Every structure is written in structure tokens, then in C-alpha cells.
Amino acid sequence: MREIVFDTETTGLNPATGDRLVEIGCIELINRVETGRSYHGYFNPQRAMPYEAEQVHGLSDRFLSDKPLFADKAGELLEFLGDCPLVAHNAGFDFGFLNAELALCGRDPVHLSRMIDTVAIARKVHPGAKHSLDALCTRYGIDRSHRVKHGALLDAQLLAQLYVELTGGRQIGLSIGEVVVEETIIVATTQVAVAARTVRAIRPHHASEEELQRHKAFIEKLDAPLWLEGALG
């Protein structure tokens, strides 16, 4: 099953009052295992960045000034998202901004039936505990030492690990067979880089008929093999 774990950074808390999405990071999971494919993009919000928001994610007006508009990359993003479930932490917030941006460029919203909220999952698994991303990463031993400020792709990577832990741990994604792992990063502001790595299926170790006959002929040539001593005695 394909799922996308994603996170956003914004100019504020409410798209209804003019706040805009400025960054999105997405991580692809297949059967709860990271495939190596991701999507990351920065967007020019066409408005000033409030001081309080910049302190959270570090994205300044100057940094975002030469970034593409969300509308220019919406098709690329939607293609990556596909029609699979979308996982986010406090997902209503991220879905709200994503759908607000889609509405501004005349596109259909992402249906809320696709939403998986890891905050809601955490509340069921750990009632009464702290459910922030930082607190849950600490609980599950997920390394976040490199998280100085919020960043959509970094937070999506942390959340992907957390989501797996909240839903049963990594063993749920283990399987035997041939798996193609595509290591791809799709970045909205640069060219697409693609690499592929194929993990070969486990070889069947069944002897052929010819091998069985050769083995039988070899055994018949042995003089008083040790494994027959008990039977002969």
C-alpha cells in the first residue's frame, strides 16, 4: 500500500485570513517502508513573512522571493501525491493550507477521506501524554538532533519514522520477494534526480532432478558411510 507522509510550513495559522503555504515536504511509503522517493518545494507566498513565523522555520522574504508560485508547481505536486492516503501531524492544519492553495489556482481539493492524522493516532496510543512531534520522537528514540528549526522535508522524514512506530513498528513492512527501491528526490525548484536500486529475490534452493541423480550415484560409491553404521548394526 502506498502512503505519503507530508508536512508544510506557512506564513501563519489561518489560510482564511490570508496566510499562505511556503514549503511542503513529502515522503513516500510502500507497505510502511520508505522507498527513497520524496517531493520538496519552496513557494513564493506573494506576501510578507511575519516575524513570528520566520522564527519558527527560518524562511525569510529574501529567501522566498525567487521561488516559484504554488500554482506553477501544483500539477507536479499532485502527480506525486497521486490518490493514496496522506499522513500528517495535526493533519487538519496541513490539509487546510494545501486545499486553500489548490483553490487559489482553480484546482479541486484533496478529499479529507484521504487524511491520516498522527496526532489522533498518538492520542489513542498514549492518552494523556504529550503529542508534539518532538515529544513523540523522544518517546520512540527517533533522532531529531539535527532539527534546529522546523523544516517541511525534515519534519516529514521524522514523521514517517514516527508513523511506522505508532502503527506497529518496522516489522509490519517486512516481506520476501523482489523489491525495486527507487531513490528519487523531486524538488520543485531544481531538476529531478532519479536513481534505482533493485533488491533481488531470495533464490530457491531446490535440487533439480539431475542433481538428485548425481547425488544418488555419488552416495552409492561410498564404502560403509558412517551414517549407515547404526542401521547395519
Contact between residue 189 and residue 65 where contact means Cβ atoms under 8 Å apart: no
Residue by residue, DSSP assigns 72-97 as HHHHHHHHHHTTS-EEETTHHHHHHH
- Residues 57, 150, 205, 206: which is the catalytic one? 150
131 is catalytic: no
DSSP 204: P
Q: Are strands 193-199 and 33-42 parallel, antiparallel or unpaired?
A: unpaired
Largest distance between two CA atoms of the chain: 95
What are the grid coordinates assigned to 37, written together?
522517493
Residue by residue, DSSP assigns 37-73 as EEEEEE---SSPPPHHHHHHH---HHHHTTSPPHHHH
Which residues form the catalytic set? 150
